[in-house]
Amino acid sequence: MLPDHLLTAATLAALVWSLGATSTVLYRPRQSKAGDWLYALVSLSMLCGVLALDAWVSLGRNSFFYIMRVFASGDLHHLCAAAFGASIGALPVIWRWMINHREHPLILRLLQFAGLSCVLATFFFLALLAAQDQIKPYVQRRGLGSIVANPAGFATPSGFQLDQYHDCGFFPVQIAVGPQGDLFASGYWGAAFQDGVVAKISRDATNLPAEMIIARNLGRPHGIAFHDGQLYVSRCGQYVTAESGALHGVPTGAVTQLRDLDGDGMMDYFSDILADLPGAQGPDPLHQNNGITFAPNGDLFVTVGAHSDRAPATSPLEGTIVRLRSGTDKPEVFARGLRNPFDIVVGPQGELFATDNDASRRHNGDELNHIREDGHYGHPYADGSKSHPDGTISPLAVMQSGTFEGLAYTESTKLPEAYRNCLYVVSYGNGEIIRVRLQKQGDTYQATTDVFARIPNALDIAIDDNGVFYISCFEDKKIYRLHYRGGDS
């Protein structure tokens, strides 16, 4: 059983146990003994402990909403883990009710039958978890073969087909298509997400996607890109020193080249081509260097988050787009005034576009920006739909019901004309994939947006030369494939 399945099982076990234990007290409060109250208190403490552990391991995840998504998703792995946990949680409740109803033979018999059923169910769902990979092909979730529009679930445009491409063994953050058409993903794994990994997902001998972890211990790897056949990853750590009586965050951000020297498929050579980026520092330690892309001339561009929510930057590289010119080792600020730009791509005419997150609690909306050299994009003075001061650049598009994260651009002639030469933005939270059509307007663009598809928990997107879309889902640990099959468009 994987760690996230264990958390699902533990959450359900603690929830069922606490509800059942509390019900024994509420059923007859005047007749309840001290042992009943203590039993209910212990069960509630256990539930609080599991929820706290889940929030710590999963970076503040709301366990109740997560469990609701588990039931809505129809995922066999998590449903089995949830049923396994519920069966375990029911056993101590039944035992307590048996103690309290020893004088009622009929009720006692029914409780004994319920207890035996829970024991059998525990072994049954444990066996299902052990054999889930063998069983899964025969119980595919209904709807993946013929997706229909559903405001709470999946939706795809007419003529496209959506497939669940791969179940990841880690939490995918960003994805990229390699030179040979294989998919690569950066992601988190391990306790509290401390083991940053890069995985290669390619077809095996049976033509099914197979996952190979090609690099580990990368800290927090986010952006991933290829240039001249070589793999590059944007990564960082979090480290604080104490100097002159104060705590100081150490710049740990870097862009690293990964190479396989002996040809065994595993990366065994690592070289930082860009280092000393601010990395992950407080007061908002989730912001760091994120997406990366290479311009046609070989220049590298990196998005760097600001460490403060609504205050001016304290480091010259915070809240910027950093450029490393080809053949040099000195970074320069290409654009500034961004809060937490997550992804960046080269779009039409070789120009840059990036997503950016708005300030917490202000909720003016996340931004899609046309990135221009020496441009200032408003942070911390304005973001999203708020009127930007003179001298700053307003966004092309604003999203207020989700969070703009992953970004991709395609010119693939394998797609219908309506879907070519468009940006595609992932809105994390509501799962919307936004199509952005651009029309040149002076030195910038006018953007027209509409919802292209909907995939719950989507975070990042990549598009190959054949116009095939790959969408990663962080919390679900899944990658979906969306491709055009012909018909209406």
Residue 140, Cα to own-chain centre: how many angstroms? 23
* SS3 label, residue 445: strand
Q: What is the arithmetic mean of pLDDT over 89-99?
A: 71
Which residue has better confidence, 51 or 160?
Answer: 160
Q: Distances in Å between the alpha carbon of 73 and those of 69, 88, 172?
A: 6, 22, 18
Question: Tokens at residue 438, please?
Answer: 């651009």
Place of tokens 């654009």: 335
The DSSP bridge partners found for residue 246 are 243
Contact 22, 44 (CB under 8 A): yes
Place of tokens 């002159």: 244
CA–CA separation, 223 vs 343, rounded Å?
7
Highest mean pLDDT among 55-59, 107-111, 326-330: 326-330
CA–CA separation, 426 vs 455, rounded Å?
9
Reported as a single tens digit per residue, the pLDDT across 430-477 is 889 999 999 999 999 999 999 999 998 899 999 999 999 999 999 889
pLDDT of res. 44 = 77
Nearest partner of 381 among 480, 478, 462, 313, judged by Cα: 313
Above pLDDT 70, what percent of the chain?
79
pLDDT of res. 186 = 97
In SS3 terms, 228-272 reads as CCEEEEEECCCCEEEECCEEEECCCEEEEEEECCCCCCCCCEEEE
pLDDT of res. 26 = 64
- CA angle 184/187/190 to nearest 5° reads 135
Contact partners, residue 84, CB within 8 Å, separation at least 6: 9, 12, 122, 125, 126, 129
CA–CA separation, 276 vs 458, rounded Å?
30
Which residue has better confidence, 135 or 412?
Answer: 412
Nearest partner of 232 among 164, 297, 158, 289, judged by Cα: 289
Q: What is the arithmetic mean of pLDDT over 184-190?
A: 91
Reported as a single tens digit per residue, the pLDDT across 7-39 is 777 777 777 777 777 776 666 555 556 666 676
pLDDT of res. 124 = 72
pLDDT of res. 166 = 94
Report the 10 Å Cβ neighbour count for 30: 4
Dihedral of alpha carbons 46, 51, 56, 58, sign: positive
Residue 76, Cα to own-chain centre: how many angstroms? 20
pLDDT of res. 238 = 82
Question: Tokens at residue 398, please?
Answer: 């604003």
pLDDT of res. 64 = 61
Q: Which helix (H) or strand (E) holds 301?
A: strand 300-304
Reported as a single tens digit per residue, the pLDDT across 283-327 is 777 889 999 999 999 999 999 999 887 788 888 999 999 999 999
Whether 192 has a pLDDT exceeding 90, the answer reads no
CA–CA separation, 48 vs 313, rounded Å?
38
Reported as a single tens digit per residue, the pLDDT across 216-274 is 999 999 999 999 999 999 999 888 889 888 888 889 999 999 999 999 999 999 999 99
Q: What is the arithmetic mean of pLDDT over 184-192?
A: 85
Using 50, 70 and 90 to split pLDDT, how confident is the model at 348?
very high
pTM tops 0.85: no
pLDDT of res. 25 = 64
Nearest partner of 424 among 475, 387, 461, judged by Cα: 461
For the chain, domain boundaries: 3-138, 160-484
Using 50, 70 and 90 to split pLDDT, how confident is the model at 65?
low
Q: What is the arithmetic mean of pLDDT over 384-409?
A: 92
pLDDT of res. 125 = 62
CA–CA separation, 439 vs 435, rounded Å?
13
Looking at this protein, which amino acid is placed at residue 319?
A: G
Residue 376 is given by DSSP the state B
Nearest partner of 303 among 372, 392, 234, judged by Cα: 234
Listed range (124-133, 152-161, 382-391, 400-409) with the worst mean pLDDT: 124-133
Using 50, 70 and 90 to split pLDDT, how confident is the model at 57?
low
pLDDT of res. 486 = 78
pLDDT of res. 27 = 61
Using 50, 70 and 90 to split pLDDT, how confident is the model at 62?
low
Whether 280 has a pLDDT exceeding 80, the answer reads yes
Q: What is the DSSP string of 148-169?
A: ---TTS-B--TTEEEEEEEE-S
Reported as a single tens digit per residue, the pLDDT across 103-162 is 677 766 776 777 677 677 666 766 665 665 444 444 433 333 333 334 346 888 999 999
pLDDT of res. 147 = 32
Contact partners, residue 220, CB within 8 Å, separation at least 6: 188, 193, 196, 235, 236, 237, 238, 280, 288
Residue 349 is given by DSSP the state G
Counted residue by residue, the chain has a size of 489
pLDDT of res. 326 = 94
Place of tokens 């590298």: 300
Looking at this protein, which amino acid is placed at residue 90?
A: A
Reported as a single tens digit per residue, the pLDDT across 417-431 is 999 999 999 998 888
In the CATH scheme, what is the homologous superfamily, with its name and number, of domain 160-484?
Answer: TolB, C-terminal domain (2.120.10.30)
Nearest partner of 416 among 146, 164, 157, 148, judged by Cα: 157
